[in-house]
Every structure is written in C-alpha cells, then in structure tokens.
Chain A
Amino acid sequence: SYVLTQPPSLSVAPGQTARVTCEGKDIGYTKVHWYQQKPGQAPLLVVSDGSDRPSGIPERLSASKSVNTATLTINRVEAGDEADYYCQLWDFGSEQRGVFGGGTKLTVL
C-alpha cells in the first residue's frame, strides 16, 4: 500500500519558483493529483494528473513525476499562493482507498 510523504513546510520569495515534493515508493507508475487549501477553506484541485488543467488554475502551476517522487511546481510565486498543498493518489488494491500526503505549508516571504 502507498504512503505519501511531504515536507511540512516550504518558504519562497515572491517571483521565485516553489517545488513541493511528495515521496512514495513507485508512485511514478500511478497518477498523483494536487490540492491547494487556504485557511478556513475547503481544498481545491489544482492539478489532475493525466487530465486537463482544472478551470481557473493558472499555468504557473504544473506537476511532474519520477519513479518515487511527484513534484508540484509553482512558477513566479505570488502572495496568493500561500496555502497548504496536498498530493493524492488512488490505491486500487484489494481494498480500494484514497491516499493523501501529509501536506506542505507554503509560505511566501
């Protein structure tokens, strides 16, 4: 079964690039999705792996994967990008389940 590990926090200056990582064994062979959650709000899908960009999500946000790591890249970081970011996959094992990473708090300096 999958376990997804994210760094608890990340700080980036405005205009720089933020890379939020999500580690898990062999996750590069499945699809990994990303959510943004701002304080007091429900999560928002920002990247759906293998599908079109969700409506309203800027092209500055993109995702990539290697064998054991998925990465959400936010280019030209803005103050409004400050939020918690979660990776997620679906485990199609004998007992299907959704799996989230622990979340990364992105602080814009």
Chain B
Amino acid sequence: VQLVQSGGGLIQPGGSVRLDCSVSGFTFHKFAMSWVRQAPGKGLVWVSSIGVSGGTTFHADPVRGRFMTSRDNSKDTVYLQMNDLRVEDTALYYCVKEQYVGGTTYFDAWGQGTPVTVSS
C-alpha cells in the first residue's frame, strides 16, 4: 500500500492550492479516504473525508466552505482543494486510507505528508 502526495508549498493568505494523493497497492474505489493535518509542533487534526464514490464528503468546521475534497477512481487519486487559505491552515497535510470495520472507522495507511505554509 502506497499513498504518494504532491502539491502544497508556500501560499499567500487568501490564496488557493490543491493537494493530490495518488494511491497503489489496494482497490481504491472500495475505500473511503480522509485528510488529516498537523500544525508545526502540534497534534493530529482530522480535516475531511470522502466516500467511495465521491458522492459523500464531510469536512471539519474550520475548513467547511473553504476546502473541497474529491476523488477520481479512474486515476486512483484523491484531492484536497484548499481555497481562501488562512495563516492557521499552515500544517503538514496527510492523505489517509480509511478502514471501516464493525461500526467504526480508523486510518490504516498514511501518505508521507505535504507541507502547506500560508504566509505573506
């Protein structure tokens, strides 16, 4: 199982960026995916989740309305479109494979992380 992330970088406040996560080693269209972020020196924070078909998404309160999560099952890739970025969005963003078993969801594979820095 591999999750390879790209995108990110240094973005000005109010700007936009897209993170890509290309996966291999598992049947992508059978698994929901999440994004999790970690601000410098801080803990893990769940950002968003997308269902297997892409028709269902959930976003954390701080990013709802600004971030959009999508997927392309023909390309085995999940995306995080980040708009109207704020300084507090500065973090390492992880692409994560969800595992739904027995009425719970956990994260059993993680990408390498993509840094996003929002600064003028």
A contacts, CB < 8 Å to B: 30-31, 33, 35, 37, 42-45, 48-51, 54, 84, 86, 88-90, 95-103
1/0 per residue, CB under 8 A from A, across B23-39: the answer is: 00000000000101000
A33 contacts B106, C-beta separation under 8 Å: yes
In the bound complex, how far is the Cα of B104 from the Cα of A45, in angstroms?
A: 14
In the bound complex, how far is the Cα of B110 from the Cα of A101, in angstroms?
A: 18
Interchain CB contact (< 8 A) of A100 among B43, B99, B105: B43
Interface size on B, residues (CB 8 A): 23
Consensus secondary structure, chain B interface: strand
Question: Quick one: closest A residue to B56, CB to CB?
Answer: A96
A48 proximity list for chain B (CB < 8 A):
99, 101, 106, 108
Q: Could you give 15 example pairs across A and B, Cβ below 8 Å?
A: A31-B102, A35-B44, A48-B99, A48-B101, A48-B108, A49-B104, A49-B106, A51-B106, A90-B106, A95-B58, A97-B58, A97-B60, A99-B46, A100-B45, A102-B43
Question: Quick one: closest A residue to B60, CB to CB?
Answer: A97
A45 proximity list for chain B (CB < 8 A):
106-108
Total residue contacts A-B, CB cutoff 8 A? 71
Say if the beta carbon of B112 comes within 8 Å of chain A. Answer: yes
Say if the beta carbon of B67 comes within 8 Å of chain A. Answer: no
Say if the beta carbon of B70 comes within 8 Å of chain A. Answer: no
Question: Quick one: closest A residue to B108, CB to CB?
Answer: A45
A35 proximity list for chain B (CB < 8 A):
44, 107
Question: Quick one: closest B residue to A8, CB to CB?
Answer: B43
1/0 per residue, CB under 8 A from A, across B91-120: the answer is: 000100001011111111011110000000
